[in-house]
Amino acid sequence: GGMLIFALLMSVISSFFEEGMQGLREGRLPVIEGNHFVILSHVTNQLAVLLEEICYAEESNGGVLIAILSPAPKVDVEEFLKDCDVRSWMKNSTIVVRSGDLRRQQDLQKVAVQAAKKVVIMSKPGVPREEADVVTLTSLMTLRSSSWPSDGTCIVQCQLIRNQVLFARLAKEGSKVLTTIDFVSDLLVQCSQQCGLADVVRSVFSFEGDEFYTKCIQGVGGHTFLEVLFALPGAIPIGVVGQDGRVELVPPMQRVLESGEELVVLATDDSEIPDQSTQEKLDPQLQQRWHSYQDGPGIQEQPLLAQTVVIVGWNEMLGAMIVELDREVGPGSTLVIHSPVPVAEREYFLEMAQKRRNHWCKNLTFQHSLGSLGARFILEELPFETASAIIVLADSEVHQAEGSSGADAQTLAVCVQIQDILLLRGGSQVILPQLLEADSKDLALYAGIRDYILTDQLAARITACVTEGPQLS
């Protein structure tokens, strides 16, 4: 009788232990933690970049626990992170994964979202932007219904700029809502105007190397921004966070700082930023030269000229790009768009994009070219040699059919053909491709393409910058 009872007891314990281990493998057990980071995300390239940047940023603070809640099985997420070589960049942080619905209260409790310091909500990939925002909106409503996180803030990705105010109203006070796709689209346009600017953007929005920080520094109150520039060894001031929380980047040199205002600086690490300024006054000779410059003609603003811009490929980033382009070019400018997407569909999209952003293009007129992206005889008809900017987008149809790698291969193949056309015509314009996979940069460099924008990587890095310094939003 005793042996039977013992066998039954061991069977119960074994089943209980096996069930517990299975729950641990599947990510059903809750995280017991506080003051940590929570990321609500599907498995995307942006997730890996965001994690890497946060780990770099938190290294000097001793690391942080990052809890990921994803709809994908825990094993799949961990395998994805392993493929991304998580051990090489995790530093002294800890990453745990739980599986569940990003909109269910019970699943959010698995990552202790109620006790989190920061909650990052990433947009759902691979779906229309409206649908992605609906999923994010539902997650925000669940958090708001429980007043989660109790003492933390949210950083939320938003696809449509018209939803930004609604998201901000639903999120906790102090939370930040980011329309990263629109911002990256603006950067894509800016980088197409100048050779080498894309490399600067890639370096600035990263916690590896120099990073953005905001800090209140004693002793700068009452001094001009120019004086402060030379009073902070180890850091480069680039802006000011006013008393109202608004960020003013590259303010006038004679702007007088007020006590309590924070500075936006670039530094290799937050430990390099001094607690107080080390120089009360600017060198008199430099001050004299600055006043002489002010009394002179200074830098004259140049009028915007009519330009021709060529875009090859088609995706939804064009909606924000045309608005930025319209601000950067003079009256009478032309935007030539080459894509296999039917012209009627393009015209409808461009009209709706302007309506959503309440901006109607006054300087740009649209000219459409219809055909295969890689059709050489059609590409030769495009005015590349007279264009002020040439942008090659990751085409949405190719992306949907062949994935990110296929889209990048198509993009780079088009770039090489444009390079050859320009070579034959004696042109030297900058060709700026949009890439999706980080691995594609090696192929781009091999093809002689130095300027490129990794849009998913850049969006994730911008999200990480705001996660670490919310004032930067």
CB-based burial, 119-131: b 16+ in 10 Å, e otherwise: bbbbbbeeeebee
* Token pair 């090696």: residue: 442
Long-range CB contacts for residues 288-292, cutoff 8 Å, separation at least 24: 290/226, 290/253
- Binning pLDDT at 50, 70 and 90, where does residue 168 land? very high
Q: What is the reported pLDDT for 348?
A: 96
Decide if pLDDT at 18 tops 90: no
Q: Which residues lie below 8 Å from residue 337, measured CB to CB, with a gap of 6+? A: 311, 314, 318, 346, 366, 367, 368, 369
Q: What is the reported pLDDT for 110?
A: 93
pLDDT, tens digit, 9 for 90 and up, residues 184-238: 999 999 999 888 989 888 888 887 777 778 888 888 888 888 888 877 877 888 8
Q: What is the reported pLDDT for 208?
A: 75
**Are the beta carbons of 470 and 177 closer than 8 angstroms?**
no
* Token pair 């700082």: residue: 257
Half-sphere exposure of 375 (CA within 13 A, CB side): 13
pLDDT, tens digit, 9 for 90 and up, residues 246-278: 778 778 888 888 888 888 888 877 778 888 876
Q: Which residues lie below 8 Å from residue 108, measured CB to CB, with a gap of 6+? A: 40, 69, 100, 102, 114, 142, 143, 148
Cα–Cα dist 29/332, whole Å? 62
Which is more confident, 472 or 41? Answer: 41
**Are the beta carbons of 150 and 438 closer than 8 angstroms?**
no
Q: Which residues lie below 8 Å from residue 425, measured CB to CB, with a gap of 6+? A: 384, 385
pLDDT, tens digit, 9 for 90 and up, residues 104-161: 999 999 999 999 999 999 999 988 899 999 999 999 999 999 999 999 999 999 999 8
**Are the beta carbons of 19 and 28 closer than 8 angstroms?**
no
Cα–Cα dist 367/390, whole Å? 14
Q: Tell me which DSSP letter residue 49 carries.
A: H
Cα–Cα dist 134/159, whole Å? 10
Q: Which residues lie below 8 Å from residue 375, measured CB to CB, with a gap of 6+? A: none
Q: What is the reported pLDDT for 279?
A: 57
**Are the beta carbons of 235 and 444 closer than 8 angstroms?**
no
Q: Which of 193, 182, 433 is nearest to 329 (CA)?
A: 193
Q: Which residues lie below 8 Å from residue 2, measured CB to CB, with a gap of 6+? A: none
Pairing of strands 262-267, 211-215: antiparallel
- The mean pLDDT value for 269-292 works out to 64
Cα–Cα dist 312/418, whole Å? 10
Q: Which helix (H) or strand (E) holds 448?
A: none
Q: How many Å separate Cα 91 from the centre of its chain?
A: 22
Q: Which of 150, 151, 154 is nearest to 118 (CA)?
A: 154
Going 219 to 225 to 230 to 232, the CA torsion angle's sign is positive
Considering the chain, what is the average pLDDT of its residues? 88
